[in-house]
Amino acid sequence: MLTTLSRVIKYGLVGFWRNGWLSTATIAIVFLVLVGFGGLLMFNSLANIVLADIQDKIDISIYFKVDAPEDRILEVQRALESLPEVKEVEYVSRDVALETFREQHKDDPTVSQALEALDENPLAAAINIKARELKDYEAIAGYLDKESYKDITDKISYAQNIGVIDRLKSIKSTVEQGGLLLIIFISLVAALIIFNTIRLAIYSNREELAVMRLVGASNFFIRGPYMIEGIIYGVVGSVMSVAMVTIGVFYAAPYVKIFVPDINGWAYYLSNFFMFMSAQIFFGVGLGVISSYIAVRKYLKI
């Protein structure tokens, strides 16, 4: 078995070198496809980080009437915390709301004097709610619209935020769907190129393969060298694409930071380097192996 495997690998390497120009052209195309795949992977990752950051800053608030009993408010808070759609609930009491308001307007003497002239706290308590997913805000708003809460609530900010939430949902959906479609497209392109390369190699060696068949060569022995060629295309193209994507991210990171100051693209790439490298190598080798297998099976009828 080891002898057969070593011969399969040897013949695969020989076939790769024998079709030098064709192999070089195939690797070049696979390299370009994998660079697109790696860049798309990085872009989708950064886009998801940006969207998650924006999503984390979005919430809806329920404002209570000034005379609403605190025990009823706390009851609403506990009910919200039990909902599976809710990620975080923050209760802002009247005193905290007043303190925050004073801090925000400490440089405005008119506001400060107006607050001093009042005998009581004019601000109401509120609860700020963050959902697990953007689509969950609608369900939360529907829950807060219950009849039993209307006697203590003043308003819910969902109506004001719905435009932003809907736009963010649309952007997130577009990024996810667009990324998936592009990955499928470049996968088909790479697979087709490797498939045709292996088909040409099979055609040029058809007489040799016929002799091998006549002397009783096994399917594995015939198919193996072409599978090795497919693996070589994937590995070499992947290694080159990893190097190119790394260089690209290094030079692009400062410009990305100008537009999105909260993201250090280079640091993020380095911290996830092995994930990106593994994804590109797995993708490239997988395409090579699958395309080679299909090509040999289709054109050798084995």
Per-residue pLDDT reduced to its tens digit, 68-123: 888 888 888 898 899 898 988 999 888 888 888 777 777 777 766 776 777 677 78
218 in a structural domain: yes
> What's phi and psi for 131, nearest 5 deg?
-90, 160
pLDDT at 219: 66
> What's phi and psi for 110, nearest 5 deg?
-65, -45
Count of domains observed in the chain: 2
Is pLDDT larger for residue 125 or for residue 209? 125
pLDDT in tens, 196-223: 777 777 777 667 766 766 777 676 777 7
**Is residue 84 located within the same domain as residue 36?**
no
**Is residue 75 located within the same domain as residue 37?**
no
**Does residue 159 have a pLDDT over 60?**
no
Name the residue range of residue 200's domain: 2-54+168-300
**Is residue 44 located within the same domain as residue 86?**
no
**Is residue 65 located within the same domain as residue 183?**
no
**Does residue 11 have a pLDDT over 80?**
no
> What's phi and psi for 87, nearest 5 deg?
-95, -40
For range 183-198, the mean pLDDT: 78
Beta strand extents in the chain (DSSP E only): 60-64, 86-92, 126-131, 153-156
pLDDT at 151: 84
pLDDT in tens, 13-34: 777 777 777 778 778 888 888 8
103 in a structural domain: yes
**Does residue 58 have a pLDDT over 80?**
no
258 in a structural domain: yes
pLDDT at 94: 82
**Is residue 224 located within the same domain as residue 178?**
yes
157 in a structural domain: no
pLDDT band at 153, cuts 50/70/90? confident
266 CB burial (10 A radius; 0-12, 13-18, 19+): middle
The secondary element (H helix, E strand) that includes residue 187 is helix 158-204
Q: State how far the alpha carbon of 209 is from the alpha carbons of 12, 144, 205, 226, in Å.
A: 13, 73, 6, 12
Token couple for 215: 């002397």
Q: Which residues partner with 207 through β-bridges?
A: none
> What's phi and psi for 130, nearest 5 deg?
-110, 130
**Is residue 44 located within the same domain as residue 73?**
no
pLDDT band at 302, cuts 50/70/90? low
**Is residue 28 located within the same domain as residue 172?**
yes
pLDDT band at 1, cuts 50/70/90? low
pLDDT in tens, 256-280: 777 777 778 888 888 889 988 888 8
For range 163-179, the mean pLDDT: 73
| b/e burial code for range 192-207 (CB count within 10 A of at least 16 → b) | ebbbebbbebbeebee
pLDDT in tens, 220-245: 777 778 788 888 888 888 899 999 98
pLDDT at 299: 60
Cβ proximity of 221 and 7 under 8 Å: yes
98 in a structural domain: yes
pLDDT at 298: 64
Q: Of 82, 107, 133, which one is at a domain's C-terminal end?
A: 133
Cα–Cα dist 51/24, whole Å: 40
What is the layout of strands, in order, in the sheet containing 86-92? Answer: 86-92, 126-131, 60-64, 153-156
pLDDT at 161: 62
pLDDT band at 300, cuts 50/70/90? low
**Is residue 15 located within the same domain as residue 96?**
no
Cα–Cα dist 106/101, whole Å: 8
**Does residue 56 have a pLDDT over 60?**
yes
pLDDT band at 36, cuts 50/70/90? confident
Cα–Cα dist 153/73, whole Å: 9
In 3D space, the residue among 219, 239, 238 whose CA is nearest the CA of residue 227 turns out to be 219
155 in a structural domain: no
Q: Of 108, 133, 158, which one is at a domain's C-terminal end?
A: 133
State the sign of the Cα–Cα–Cα–Cα dihedral 11, 13, 17, 23.
positive
- On whether the pTM is more than 0.75, the answer is no
**Is residue 257 located within the same domain as residue 296?**
yes
**Is residue 247 located within the same domain as residue 291?**
yes
- Tokens 């809907």 belong to which residue? 166
122 in a structural domain: yes
Q: Which residues partner with 62 through β-bridges?
A: 127, 156
**Is residue 234 located within the same domain as residue 89?**
no
**Is residue 103 located within the same domain as residue 219?**
no
146 in a structural domain: no
